[in-house]
Structure 1
Amino acid sequence: MSEHEMINGAPVTEEKIALWAAEAEQGYGVDALKKRGRGRPGRGAEPSQVVALRLTVEEIAAIDERAEREGKSRSEVIREALHRLAA
């Protein structure tokens, strides 16, 4: 194990791996696994679609600057811009 491996900012140690392995060997209850949910939460009643988009470094930087300034995610800024354009 590399000394630089991290999960959520915490180092992954051999001891941690051994604990995870022991937990997995004990098994997991099906009900507990089903409650975890899958993927990102929905944005509405219908499933969302992912759309690939190519942007220049400058375009991404401008979006990221606006997102930081407004306390939003990159996706939120792009969705808002598309909504204004389509209106």
Structure 2
Amino acid sequence: MSARTMNGQEISEEQIDQWVTEAEAGYDPAMLRRRGRPTRASSPSRAITVRLTDTELEGIEKYARQHDLTRSEAIRSAIQVLVS
């Protein structure tokens, strides 16, 4: 039987048995790590796809760099101006 590994480290049968025991006892949901992207607002948000020209994208990226924002934050900032 081949060795089991996690992140390049060999996992012992004792470690697997310990994890099984913990899982069978149950986990406190508050202690479990949340997965996925963090929420950005109290209401749900959706991802959309938008096509931009190279010039438009360069402008957004320049704005983002100047204001220490991610590209997504810069786009949301521009949209917020429109919807306010």
Give 1:85 shift.
1.3
Give 1:17 shift.
4.6
AA aligned to 2:58 is A
Give 1 or 2 for the bigger CA radius of gyration. 2
Aligned twin of 2:35: 38
Structure 2 unaligned runs (5+)? 1-5
Q: Identify which of 8, 14, 17 aligns with 1:18.
A: 8
**RMSD, aligned CA:** 2.9
Q: 1:72-87 to 2 correspondence within 5 Å? A: 72-87=69-84
The answer to whether 1:65 aligns with 2:54 is no
State the TM-score, normalized to the length of structure 1. Answer: 0.63
User: After TM superposition, what 4+ stretches of structure 1 lie above 3 angstroms from structure 2?
Assistant: 27-34
Aligned twin of 1:50: 47
State the TM-score, normalized to the length of structure 2. Answer: 0.65
AA aligned to 1:79 is R
- CA distance in structure 1 between the aligned counterparts of 2:41 and 2:8, rounded to whole angstroms: 41
- Percent identity at matched positions? 30
Q: Secondary structure at 2:79's aligned position in 1? A: helix
Aligned twin of 1:3: none
